[in-house]
């Protein structure tokens, strides 16, 4: 199953997904990419997180991942809170922004913050770098950047140390797909779909349409902890190994919890939980979750499931 295009972009809080224009940039484009460090773009945005990014933020803050999540994140750990004092245009600051100083977690900042004002979009295996809107985003709040040194997109990206973040993003896309595959197996290979069950796909569709806050309430606390707090700090310097070990932990937990389920209700609940985990992780990766759920439902129907 192919993955939906995803972005690692720090987006304005008011952006309605899929509604804003984007501009594709090339590695050779020379742009006013020197930051004036006003902190403008640390206000009024949405910064989504994957579990490796959460671990990096916690380390930079000197907290455990659990403490960081519970104090500074929303929806079980997939988005940074923006509940700091109002700043630019009266918009709330990121919870990690200190007025007059800047980002308090700079060494552990997420990929979206490293890339800004650019974003990253996957088209199959190809990556495009983009920015939001038709006008260079920094000009809205930091017009002074036109007088600072311009640089190519390639030079900018090289200076932001984005490789670990990109590796983590791609590894977690794989994990998202593996969680969804688990939901498929529980529906299609357990006899549940063959029994004529229609409620499982309805459950998947509800999960795709649910607000992240609502979807988070449908994931039991122990599973949310498994999803966002994998306790793998010793692998933080190797994001691919971190995501792989995280996959193994989730797989072992699913095996131990679901292996003996054979009632229709038990299988349906297990399939919907795996789908909820896949979609919640997908939301943290910047995906259009409703679109993703629709595509997975359509695939399941092609394999005999009903809604």
Binding site for ligand SF4 (CB under 6 A): 35-42, 47, 94, 96-97, 103, 105, 109, 113, 116-117, 138, 141-142, 145
Measured from the CB atom, the residue of 76 and 117 that comes closer to ligand SF4 is: 117
Least spacing, CB of residue 185 vs ligand SF4, in Å: 37
Nearest to 188 by CA among 252, 251, 268, 257: 268
Q: Which two tokens stand for residue 250?
A: 């989730």
Least spacing, CB of residue 216 vs ligand SF4, in Å: 21
Q: How far is CA 34 from CA 113, 146, 147, 226, in A?
A: 14, 9, 9, 39
Q: Which residues contact 52 (CB under 8 A, 6 or more apart)?
A: 168, 171, 172, 236, 239, 242, 243
Measured from the CB atom, the residue of 87 and 239 that comes closer to ligand SF4 is: 87
Q: Confirm if 140 and 17 have CB atoms less than 8 A apart.
A: no
Q: Contacts by 244-251 with C-beta closer than 8 Å and gap 24+?
A: 244/171, 246/51, 246/175, 247/174, 247/175, 247/178, 250/175, 250/179, 250/226, 250/277, 251/178, 251/182
* Helix residue ranges, H only, the chain: 51-61, 65-72, 111-115, 153-159, 163-188, 199-209, 212-217, 221-228, 239-258, 264-284, 289-302
Kindly give the interhelix angle for 199-209 and 289-302, rounded to the nearest 10 degrees.
160
Handedness of CA 60, 5, 210, 218 (dihedral sign): negative
Q: Confirm if 111 and 53 have CB atoms less than 8 A apart.
A: yes
Least spacing, CB of residue 36 vs ligand SF4, in Å: 4
Q: Which residues contact 123 (CB under 8 A, 6 or more apart)?
A: 5
Cα 175 from chain centroid (whole Å): 12
Q: Which residues contact 157 (CB under 8 A, 6 or more apart)?
A: 27, 115, 118, 129
């Amino acid at each position: 199953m192919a993955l939906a295009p995803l972005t690692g972009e720090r987006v304005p809080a008011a952006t309605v997904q899929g509604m804003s224009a984007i501009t594709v940039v090339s590695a050779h484009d020379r742009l006013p990419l020197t930051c004036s460090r006003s902190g403008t773009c640390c206000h009024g945005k949405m910064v989504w997180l994957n579990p490796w990014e959460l671990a990096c933020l916690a380390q930079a803050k000197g907290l455990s991942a659990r403490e960081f999540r519970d104090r500074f994140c929303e929806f079980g750990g997939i988005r940074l809170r923006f509940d700091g004092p109002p700043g630019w245009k009266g918009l709330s600051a990121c919870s990690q922004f200190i007025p007059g100083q800047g980002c308090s977690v700079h060494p552990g900042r997420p990929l979206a913050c490293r890339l800004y004002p650019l974003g990253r979009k996957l088209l199959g295996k190809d990556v495009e770098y983009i920015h939001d809107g038709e006008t260079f985003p920094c000009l809205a709040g930091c017009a002074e950047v036109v007088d600072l040194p311009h640089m190519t997109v390639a030079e900018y990206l090289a200076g932001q140390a984005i490789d670990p973040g990109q590796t983590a993003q791609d590894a977690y896309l794989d994990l998202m797909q593996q969680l969804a595959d688990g939901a498929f197996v529980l529906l299609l290979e357990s006899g549940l779909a063959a029994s004529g069950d229609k409620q499982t796909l309805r459950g998947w569709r509800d999960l795709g349409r649910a607000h992240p806050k609502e979807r988070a309430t449908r994931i039991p606390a122990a599973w949310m902890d498994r999803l966002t707090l994998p306790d793998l700090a010793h692998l933080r310097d190797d994001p691919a190994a971190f995501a792989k070990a995280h996959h193994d932990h989730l797989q072992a937990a699913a095996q131990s919890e679901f292996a003996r389920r054979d009632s229709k209700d038990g299988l349906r609940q297990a399939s919907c939980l795996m789908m909820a985990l896949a979609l919640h992780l997908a939301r943290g990766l910047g995906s259009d979750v409703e679109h993703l759920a629709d595509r997975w439902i359509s695939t399941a129907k092609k394999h005999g499931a009903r809604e």
